[in-house]
Chains A and B, each alone.
Chain A
Amino acid sequence: MSGFPRGATAIIGAATHGIGKAPGFESADLAAIAASRALAEAGLAASDIDGLFVCHPTDTMSGLSFAQYLGIHPKITENNRTGGSAFELYVEMAALALDAGVIDAALIAYGSNQSTATGKLISTSGPNAYEAPYKPLNPVSSYALAAQRYMHEYGATKRHLAEVAVAARKWAQLNPEAVKRDDLTIEEVVEARMISDPLGKLDCCLVTDGAAAIVMTRADRARDLAAKPVYVLGAAGATTHRDIACMPDLTRTAAADAAARAYQAAKVGPSDIDVVELYDAFTINTILMLEDLGFCPKGEGARFVEDGAIAPGGRLPVNTNGGGLSCVHPGMYGLFTLVEAVRQLRGEAGARQVDGATLALAHGNGGVLSSQAVAVLGTDAAL
């Protein structure tokens, strides 16, 4: 066995739909419309899909429901629920199944109408009996506990967290699809209403509607179907816990483990990556992930983001769509990092395009820093 099939599969369709508010549509409708657009890009019909990978905010049998909605009978139906990281894991599983010849075309989809339906983040699992008596405001409080510990160990400040939010906003201002595009200053983030110390309102991701979908096939077929296939060079996931009290070290996530395996599969390292799309559910995530994904040593993430270093024109393009903080966050965001990575690698990103991007990293985070997944994607120049 040779491990992950580097470059053997490719993304040939990628689409979003309903970002912001999509009144009048159910979550499955939004996912279906995004899927239809991704299929159209790929030149495939729904009936060509024999591997379905799908998540829904509340329907835990969404694999069955969505196959029914699409009118298809897939050979593989998968709805692993590792929170927002599920989609990078779907890419990994789809690549393995495609390479093995078990399936020929995979659809990965997600949609949520949470903003118009409830106005808040939808939780898909009940409270832990050993946390519930203390009434943490989850997920915010769990991330706040990580942020507090990180600040204690490494001397980071609320201004460092604010740098992340402001950089995300500056990218969002270049993205017509982004929900929040008005000007934002460090001071506004620092002074925003505190939610769970040290995280204030503007340290938290948006609550929006939105859907996304990607279509994958084997690389040989991809070259016939897509103008510019985006190859899956490596993908891996890892988990350390479900509940924050069981996370071994609140400043070190499983992304370090996942990224090491994804880079090894892709035969690249962090210094080769042109554009980073990581899951910024809260500002602390970006700092932790820049470290754990290998872009700077542990403890230096806060200093790494200073002075607009991850904003447009900075040293490393991070979350070029505006991220979960300023573009879109419909409950699970992990599929949107993949779509933005694809758009950057195809050169379709307009005003926010990173010149000459050939290698991108898409990251997903699930639970409360619990599940971490990484996909390394590249153009044919990266093969």
Chain B
Amino acid sequence: MSETGPDAAFQAHLKSGRFMIQRGRASGRYVFYPRAIEPGTGADDLEWVEASGRGTVYSTTVVRKRPPEPSYNVALIDLEEGPRMMSRVESVAAEDVQIGMQVRARIIVEDERAYVVFDPAGGAA
């Protein structure tokens, strides 16, 4: 039995190249962000499963910076498994990210912390 807390476990999975989310063993429901218990039921039977990495843009915005600092995308992505997460869509201009766009997860590591970004599923637009 691992003594690692949910955030540390999530980070460790990402750093080993796997985007893992949680699922309640009894409910079969997927959970993100990582927690110690399942929201709703309070059950303590969450297990880690690999996310498909497939998602859909639920909403999107462009954080506008004053040039030369680049503006950038912030989006909410509905994962195929159900949970929604904040992320950003890359490989396409920030303002060209559209609600309903099919996207695919990619792991990046920055400042010692790994996180998940998305690219359009059909490749760069």
Residues of A within 8 A of B (CB): 128-131, 133-137, 141, 144-146, 148-149, 152, 193-198, 243-246, 250
CA distance A195 to B65 in the complex (A): 8
* Chain A contact residues, majority secondary structure: mixed
By a CB distance below 8 angstroms, the chain B residues around A198 are 61
The answer to whether the Cβ of B29 comes within 8 Å of any Cβ in the partner chain is: no
By a CB distance below 8 angstroms, the chain B residues around A137 are 63
Residue pair B86, A197 in contact (C-beta under 8 Å): no
A307 to chain B, nearest CB (A): 28
Which residue of chain A is the closest to B77 with respect to CB atoms? A245
CA distance A144 to B85 in the complex (A): 16
CA distance A130 to B6 in the complex (A): 12
A-B contact pairs, 6 of them (CB 8 A): A130-B33, A133-B115, A135-B72, A136-B74, A149-B99, A194-B64
The answer to whether the Cβ of B62 comes within 8 Å of any Cβ in the partner chain is: yes
CA distance A194 to B95 in the complex (A): 12
Which residue of chain B is the closest to A152 with respect to CB atoms? B99
Residue pair A144, B61 in contact (C-beta under 8 Å): yes
The answer to whether the Cβ of B56 comes within 8 Å of any Cβ in the partner chain is: no
By a CB distance below 8 angstroms, the chain A residues around B62 are 194, 196-197
By a CB distance below 8 angstroms, the chain B residues around A128 are 33
By a CB distance below 8 angstroms, the chain B residues around A250 are 58-59, 76
Residue pair B61, A148 in contact (C-beta under 8 Å): yes
Residue pair B85, A130 in contact (C-beta under 8 Å): yes
Residues of B within 8 A of A (CB): 7, 32-33, 58-64, 72, 74-76, 84-88, 95, 99, 110, 113, 115
Residue pair B85, A197 in contact (C-beta under 8 Å): no
Residue pair A145, B33 in contact (C-beta under 8 Å): no
Across the interface, B61 reaches (CB within 8 A) one of A129, A131, A196, A246, namely A196
Known: A149-B58, A197-B95. A141 touches B63 (CB 8 A): yes
CA distance A137 to B55 in the complex (A): 23
By a CB distance below 8 angstroms, the chain A residues around B63 are 135-137, 141, 196
CA distance A135 to B69 in the complex (A): 14
Which residue of chain B is the closest to A250 with respect to CB atoms? B59
CA distance A141 to B87 in the complex (A): 12
Output the residue of B75, B76, B99 with the most chain A CB within 10 A: B76
Which residue of chain A is the closest to B116 with respect to CB atoms? A133
CA distance A243 to B76 in the complex (A): 11
Known: A141-B74, A148-B99, A197-B95. A134 touches B87 (CB 8 A): yes
Residue pair A145, B64 in contact (C-beta under 8 Å): no
CA distance A135 to B110 in the complex (A): 13
Across the interface, A134 reaches (CB within 8 A) one of B32, B84, B88, namely B88
Output the residue of A134, A137, A198 with the most chain B CB within 10 A: A134
Known: A136-B63, A196-B61, A197-B61. A244 touches B72 (CB 8 A): no
By a CB distance below 8 angstroms, the chain B residues around A131 are 86
CA distance A128 to B74 in the complex (A): 14
Known: A134-B88, A197-B95. A148 touches B33 (CB 8 A): no
